[in-house]
Structure 1
Amino acid sequence: MAAKDGGRRAYIGSFTTAGGLGLTTAAVDPESGALTPLHSTDPVRNPSYLAASPDGRYLYAVSETPDGAAAAFALSPEGPRLLAPAVPVDGADPTHLTLSAGHLVTANYSSGSVSTLPVRADGSLGGPARVLAHRGSGPQTDRQEGPHAHAVLPAPGGHWLLSVDLGTDSVRVCTLEGTDGTPVLREEVRLRSGSGPRHLAFHPRGDRAYVINELDPTVTVCRWDGERGVLTPLGETRLLPDGDASDSASRDSSTSGGGTPCSGTYPSALVLSPDGRFAWAANRGHDSLAVLSLDASGDTATLVTTVPCGGHWPRDLTLHPDGRHLYAANERSGDVTWFTVDPATGIPVRGGAIEAPAASCVVFV
């Protein structure tokens, strides 16, 4: 729903258990991209990832907790209003969510599963959840002892649903079946062992997909056949300059509160430019944004440079719908920084920041 001033709104998710404010609403300057916080609300715990309905009337949030849930909010110029109590997803620690075929779909990290909830006509969520449990493990026993679904999103066209699993080094291609939206596995695509895939983004053409890997700072380029629902890995690109010491090889065994090691580089999120010329990746630990140039086919991604993210531990990276500004949600420094993208080089230039404790996600409506 459009704001009274005619501009967009940014909604910032956060970890309330780490001091976050819940959902923060901010005004967006259309020229500079600057954010101005307006108000915050915390009716659910740890709304760490958000998604807006296509018509901009509703906002959905995971509740990233051991007894995971999802919540629906009605949007107005006055801010988000919780429609009903959060609905259980029958999965632990949901980290990501999307809308597909009349359902809300969550990726549940700790339980290694994908859940669906029906979206009602008034925007609220129904139940019970339908769950697809992942199976498998990976070679890094401290992080890949079992499945860890980290992201889920629909492929262009809406028929296929792809879930990215850090624990099993794979991407699963699914469909939603029946009126209850039961997720059904159609294919599991194996990526390089130990890479730890985390998130995925599609090329604007819809025929290429890019998987960002958390356990080794790389992005995997894939061909996507939307007719058959087939994902084919083509190659990898590193997200750090050659010789950079902040690589996966520099990790030690110490961990932070969320079980994520404190040293090394752990990429988190990837976004593509609307024209498909550039991609940007957030590197936690290295605390940088990697700038990638894509060739005309989309098959080759070349690292151009890295720039500081403006904070510490960029958990999420978002591109403004106009394609001119990038936003990094820096979880551990507790801020959101914004950048103006050079249209010729793709290199982002820092514009400013706002305080946002335990920030984890930014979406625009």
Structure 2
Amino acid sequence: MKRMPSSSRIACPLRGRIGPCVVLILVAGLLAGCAAPHPARQEAPDLTGLRVYGSLDETPPPDGPWRPHIVSWCPAEPPVPASVEALLELCSTYFREGSGVDSILELEMALEAGSRHPLLLMTLGQLYLMAGQGDPDLLPLEGPVADVGDWSRNRQRLLGRAEELLTEAGEQRPWDAAVDYLLADVWRARENFPRAEAFVFQGAAKSTSGRGFALLVLYQQLYRHPGKYQGGPGPEYPADALGRGLTGDVVLDLLISPLGEVRQAVVVAGPAEDLARAAAASLVEGYWEPATIGKYPIWSWLPYLIFWQQGFVGFSAPNPLIHPAAGGQYLHEVAGQALPLSVVRHRSGRAGSGRLHQQGRPQ
């Protein structure tokens, strides 16, 4: 019987090569283990509160459906004497009950007795203005501008008395835009529109909040209207940011003046400063409708979101809105979906080129 050769003598084509292969594999493994690890992904910088436009340094108010701004260069409301508060309350009660002429008589008697508080002057001046604009229930039957039986003469005298009282009030409250806006109404009623616009322009640099505006709301029953974006140039993708592949959402808080100008832009959230500045640059050049109380424009803040995605840049939320199902919560519309601003702030995205889009993100 023929004996089989031992296993140690079986021919093998890899004989003499296995050793070097194992060595190579071990060396490669060691080199791979010693190789430098991939750099960790850098976290986006915290840009919250960074001012990316404007010379003002105002502080945005909290989120909400109505965000009026109290300008820092105007003084706080001074205390009002209790006697003045009582008279203001009495006059407002008369007015609400349909006896505005009694308010006029009470205020005229107070002025005759020596009380020249600016809020009393503003209240009486506004009532005379409304009478001069044609409100028959406010035409006084006695006092310095009592009815003389001729509307043309009555109108002239009522508006003249209103201008006199409001001018005196403005001397005591030079920071209060409400005085300028009422004087603009006086000149508008006289059909002197250039003079009226001059007073509006003058008031736009002043405070649009406080007791003066409370009187406007009370006696004219005014409603509040948030500001709106009316259109403008599309954002331009910064070349350096595009080259580095920077992407994401930029949320800015914009301070809109009563003249519809962006006076300050502050970052709420964003992936990079150059994207935030580019977003601000486009919005500053846009057209804005200021927030108003009735017809009177005010300072206010408006949040806005611009998204930067691959091959795509646009406004994700043209205007803030109140969603009926959200219980009055402040919302933005993102990709056709209403989201609270607190959610919008933390959304992330992928950015792109400079094509303007206002209908939501590309799918």
User: Taking structure 2 as the reference length, what is the TM-score of the superposition?
Assistant: 0.22
Task: Specify the structure having the higher radius of gyration (Cα).
Answer: 2
Select the structure that is richer in strand. 1
User: Taking structure 1 as the reference length, what is the TM-score of the superposition?
Assistant: 0.22
Compare relative contact order (CA 8 Å, sep 6+) and give the higher one, 1 or 2: 2
